[in-house]
């Protein structure tokens, strides 16, 4: 079983989650940062997991573009979808806004992996907003290893 994990990240949280996920998936697993790496031929993979971090309610445009461009081919695969973000009060809306409906309906797994706000990874403006608006003066990590495990278990069931 071969699994391709395609992710978008701005500050490294989605990448961190993908590395945790990779440890729990069975078979051969390839990780691809859509902003830096070339996406391999998805025909050679049994499972495709796609996700990224949410900023201002949106996932990275590269993820949206990849999904739209490859929708018909992706529908033929076992699909897992995930998002990372700090807003844990509403995780359904960002998932629905991040992926095409046809992919959402086909997905074997959809999960919210939680989020992190690591101040040193942010630019000046982002740090300023987090400190003033978010009342944050130190790093915060709210990753859900439980949800990462759930997605891995659903994908591993084959």
Tell me: the pLDDT tens digits for 16-39?
999 999 999 999 999 999 999 999
The pTM (predicted TM-score) of the whole model is 0.87
Domain 2-116+144-156 has CATH 3.40.50.360: yes
Distance between the two ends of the chain, CA-based, in angstroms?
Answer: 9
Mean pLDDT of 49-78: 92
Q: Does pLDDT of 127 surpass 90? A: no
């Amino acid at each position: 079983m071969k699994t391709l994990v395609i992710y978008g990240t701005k500050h490294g949280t989605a990448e961190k989650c993908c590395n945790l996920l990779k440890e729990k998936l069975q078979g051969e697993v390839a990780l691809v940062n859509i902003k830096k790496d070339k996406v391999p031929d998805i025909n050679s993979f049994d499972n495709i997991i796609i996700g990224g971090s949410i900023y201002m309610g949106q996932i990275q445009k590269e993820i949206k573009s990849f999904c739209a461009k490859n929708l018909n081919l992706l529908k033929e695969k076992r699909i897992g979808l995930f998002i990372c973000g700090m807003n844990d009060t509403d995780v359904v809306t960002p998932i629905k806004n991040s992926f095409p409906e046809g992919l959402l309906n086909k997905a074997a797994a959809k999960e919210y992996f939680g989020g992190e706000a690591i101040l040193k990874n942010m630019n000046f403006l982002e740090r300023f907003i987090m400190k003033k608006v978010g009342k944050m003066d130190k790093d915060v990590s709210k990753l859900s290893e439980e949800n990462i495990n759930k997605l891995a278990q659903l994908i591993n069931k084959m």
